[in-house]
Amino acid sequence: MAKQALWSGRFENEADESTFRFTSSLDVDSALAFYDVMGSLAHVRMLKKQKIIPAKDADEIINGLIRIVKKMEDGDFNVDESLEDIHTNIEFKLTEMIGPVGGKLHTGRSRNDQVATDLKMYLRDIILEAVIDIDTLATSLLRIAEEHGDTIMPGFTHMQHAQPVTLAQHMLAHVFRLSRDADRFIDAFDRMNRCPLGSAALAGTTYPIDRKMTSDALAFKSPTQNSMDSVASRDNVSETLFCASMTALDMSSICEELILWSSQEFGFIEMADAYTTGSSIMPQKKNPDVAELIRGRTGTVVGNLVSMMMTMKGLPLSYNRDLQEDKEPVMNSMVIISDSANMLSKVVSTMKVNKEAMQKAAEKGFINATDLADYLVVKGIPFREAHSIVGESVRYCIEKGKTLEELTLEEYKKFSGSIKKDVYDVISPKACVERRISYGGTSSGSTDMQITEAIGAIMERDSKIRLETQLIEKCWDDLLKDV
């Protein structure tokens, strides 16, 4: 049977065992244990300074909480399954260790503001970790871009050969997507970085608490502004889940391409043995399972976002127990994101690029047709007419089994008198790429600039992460100081 619940006083009879089991959140919120103690340490130090509880009692609580952290570090903190959540477990453990004075810890707070605060502290840390992992992946893609500024490959639209690009340009497209994903996480971090502690159950408290002090002590930017909003809102969780979903989609897109590119039909890349698997029946197989699972888990990540938003739909203010369902989806998604980013980074940094296959593919599909049209425009022909001249030339090539570069000047003359010898200078795939000098285009000058910009963004995030991590760690050190 359950130990006394925190709220047992009002009840004549105990809740049924099944009710305890059904309402427990312990398997999920144990992950918040460390943050919960940090929140309690900040709270009790504030109660002491504000003389809300006697200094002597506060000191006993502080020392007890510090001992609990040591126990956790030593793997010596066992949760009691019969206590409904991690907050209850920690408070019970404290009281077991230091006696009834432990009961003074919960003065002027509620589990409602406590859990909102704990979850934010947890999210801050895993967001910073996720950004590091995303930037590790972005860096692996950047390495490929740096190496392949002159590797020509077909650029696709509608999965049809469109115009030649370089592998650098293609990789950088993914890098900038991931860079925005990482920035989005940082934005979510900054937006959620206000402290709900002290909002109590929903309406604030009659004690002369100092919310600025607890907020500072827990490395938050400031306290939240409204007590009801503080305990009722989980947009920070939904936003984190959206950031995760967007990142998952972007990684899935990379995976889809790598899977395609490693097929016999494309042969653009070969994945390293270390990050592929074999078949139990077909001895020749080398399967891109890692990439496939990253793509596949995107479904779970997006599902978690939808699940959280549906939990929130129509909830009235303020705290409702439905909110307990907030942790599992976000914890699950963030593990998937970090694992996937790290695995994909390994796949990318160990894969072999088949430059020749890419280059060869770029010669097919009249990928330089736009360049031929642009050439005619420079010669004074209106673009519409140029478009049709090139269309006819392409049709002719298809009939003759030739490429546009292989047509002789004689043949070109049939389509337009304006085509001269210099046409060959602009329609080679290399020329097509190098002449695309517009900002953000595929020329090597442009990709070099893009690389510099992408590295700058990664460095900026890196210093932000260092700063925030230092700030958080300094707070933990201060809170863990003996009294």
Residue 112 binding ligand ARG, by CB under 6 A: yes
Nearer to ligand ARG (CB atom), residue 32 or residue 171: 32
Positive or negative, the CA dihedral 298, 302, 305, 307 is: negative
Beta-carbon-side half-sphere exposure of residue 467 (alpha carbons within 13 Å): 9
The amino acid at residue 66 is I
The set of catalytic residues is: 158, 279
Q: Closest approach of Cβ 302 to ligand ARG, in Å? A: 23
Nearer to ligand ARG (CB atom), residue 25 or residue 276: 25
Binding ligand ARG by CB under 6 A: which of 43, 45, 111, 124? 111
Residue 25 binding ligand ARG, by CB under 6 A: yes
Residue 115 binding ligand ARG, by CB under 6 A: yes
Write the interaction track for ligand ARG spanning residues 39-78; mark x where CB under 6 A is met and - where it is not: ----------------------------------------
Residues 225-254 binding ligand ARG (CB under 6 A) are none
Burial of 164 (0-12, 13-18, 19+ CB in 10 A): buried
Positive or negative, the CA dihedral 47, 52, 57, 59 is: positive
Stretch that binds ligand ARG, among 171-179, 318-326, 329-337, 433-441 (CB under 6 A): 318-326
Q: Closest approach of Cβ 128 to ligand ARG, in Å? A: 23
Binding ligand ARG by CB under 6 A: which of 36, 57, 60, 85? 85
Residues 253-292 binding ligand ARG (CB under 6 A) are none
Q: Closest approach of Cβ 331 to ligand ARG, in Å? A: 12
Nearer to ligand ARG (CB atom), residue 109 or residue 295: 109
The amino acid at residue 247 is T
Stretch that binds ligand ARG, among 111-119, 248-256, 293-301, 401-409 (CB under 6 A): 111-119
Nearer to ligand ARG (CB atom), residue 312 or residue 457: 312
Provide CB contacts within 8 A for 45, sequence distance 6+. 58, 62, 213, 217, 479
Residue 166 binding ligand ARG, by CB under 6 A: no
Stretch that binds ligand ARG, among 75-83, 110-118, 123-131, 375-383 (CB under 6 A): 110-118
Residues 321-340 binding ligand ARG (CB under 6 A) are 321, 323-324
Stretch that binds ligand ARG, among 62-70, 176-184, 297-305, 320-328 (CB under 6 A): 320-328
Query: Using an 8 Å Cβ cutoff, are 238 and 302 in contact?
Result: no
Nearer to ligand ARG (CB atom), residue 45 or residue 111: 111
Q: Is the peptide bond before 443 cis (omega within 30 degrees of 0)?
A: no
Q: Closest approach of Cβ 106 to ligand ARG, in Å? A: 12
Nearer to ligand ARG (CB atom), residue 324 or residue 333: 324
Q: Closest approach of Cβ 182 to ligand ARG, in Å? A: 29
Nearer to ligand ARG (CB atom), residue 7 or residue 383: 7
Residue 319 binding ligand ARG, by CB under 6 A: yes
Strands 194-195 and 222-223: what pairing? parallel
Tell me the site size for ligand ARG, rule CB under 6 A. Answer: 10
Task: Report the C-alpha gap between 428 and 139 in whole angstroms.
Answer: 31
Nearer to ligand ARG (CB atom), residue 209 or residue 323: 323
Residue 124 binding ligand ARG, by CB under 6 A: no
Task: Report the C-alpha gap between 348 and 209 in whole angstroms.
Answer: 52
Stretch that binds ligand ARG, among 316-324, 354-362, 433-441, 462-470 (CB under 6 A): 316-324
Q: Which residues bind ligand ARG (CB under 6 A)?
A: 25, 29, 85, 111-112, 115, 319, 321, 323-324
